[in-house]
Amino acid sequence: MSPNNMARIKRFTPLQRIFHVLLMAAFLAQGATGLARMYIETPWGKKLSWVFGGYESALTIHKYVGIFMVCGFLLHVLYLVAAIDWRRFPSSLFGPDSLLPHGRDIKHFFLHFGWFLGINKAPQFDRWGYWEKFDYWAVFWGMVIMGSTGLLLAYPLAASRLMPGWGLNVAFWIHRIEAILAMAHVFLIHFFIAHLRRHNFPMDRAMFEGSADLDDTRHERPSWIARLDKAGTLDSVLVPEAKVYRRVLFYLLGYTAVALGFFLLIGGLVNSPYITW
């Protein structure tokens, strides 16, 4: 890209990147094992479950990975408590570095739509766009819903001590619909935004590399750069580009996830009329 050594701006910490990669791997494993069981009536589902050692062991893997994700989520909540700027609390929660939804996100959403249709100029995004905040909170509440219903279904005897057994019927359907929603959202919308749109094509490496191209960021998130310029801290968050072998690794990781996601999405859609819902 640019010959400048410090051409990229730091966007994610190593811990955040590790959590994203773990979440990616666990999400795909849960998607694949869950769909393998849901589609066991179809040849596609049978092949998919074969990868995990069959119908029964697919569930065993699904449960262990699920517990792993719940633990990861709890650790993330602890991380949040540590990451909040308590000295400027609570105003820090509503600042531009916070992922909490804000009134200006709704404004940006409509302005962005206006820009799509050529009605107005593009909104001045800060560090986090409204779509990124939406993705974050979608995963956050998704984890709560999937984790709680999943634990109820994984331990039905214990669960039916806490609630009537017919609650498991309800938990099953909530788990299923939320899973379909989550997979469709990630495999269609998240992948499109991070890979296919022209600004990011072929891939936005920021979540793997931890940094984004400074010029591109200046272009897409002018408010953020202007804010850092004004505070005089821009130079302190500039980093060099990652080495070639690492970039290759990031592309491999990203495209493996995209390939698996599309495989699950297309297989799921094509075979959906042939299963007993």
Partner 1 sequence: MNRFICSTTSALGIIAALLLFPEITYSAEEVASALRRYKEREVSTGYYEEYEVLPRHQRPMVGVPGVQRGIFPYSPSAARVRIRTRLADSHQGIKFYKRRRCEDCHVKETKDIHTIRANLTCRQCHGGEPIASIEHYYSSMNPIRRHAAVCSKCHEGASASFASYVVHTPNPAMAATKKTFPVLFYAFWIMVGVAVGTFVVFLPHTALWGIRELFAAKEKTTSEPKQHG
| Nearest-angstrom CA–CA distance, 176 and 259 | 22
211-213, strands of its sheet edge to edge? 211-213, 8-10, 238-239
Q: Which residue has the tokens 């070639």?
A: 244
The residue among 73 and 224 lying less far from partner 1, judged by its C-beta, is 224
Q: Which residue has the tokens 């990630």?
A: 186
Residues 26-85 that bind partner 1 (CB under 8 A): 37, 40-43, 55
- Between CA 16 and CA 28, with CA 14 as vertex, the angle to 5 degrees is 50
For position 185 contacting partner 1 by CB under 8 A, the verdict is yes
Sole binder of partner 1 in the list 17, 72, 160, 247 (CB under 8 A):
160
**Are the C-beta atoms of residues 175 and 250 closer than 8 Å to each other?**
no
| Nearest-angstrom CA–CA distance, 155 and 150 | 9
Residue 41 beta carbon to partner 1: minimum distance, rounded to whole angstroms:
5
The residue among 13 and 120 lying less far from partner 1, judged by its C-beta, is 120
Q: What are the backbone angles phi and psi of residue 219, rounded to the nearest 5°?
A: -75, -40
Sole binder of partner 1 in the list 14, 82, 87, 116 (CB under 8 A):
116
By the criterion CB under 8 A, which residues form the site for partner 1? Answer: 2, 37, 40-43, 55, 112-113, 115-117, 121-122, 124, 131, 134, 138, 156-157, 160-161, 163-170, 172-174, 177-178, 180-181, 184-185, 188-189, 192-193, 196-199, 215-216, 218-220, 222, 225-226, 273-274, 276-277
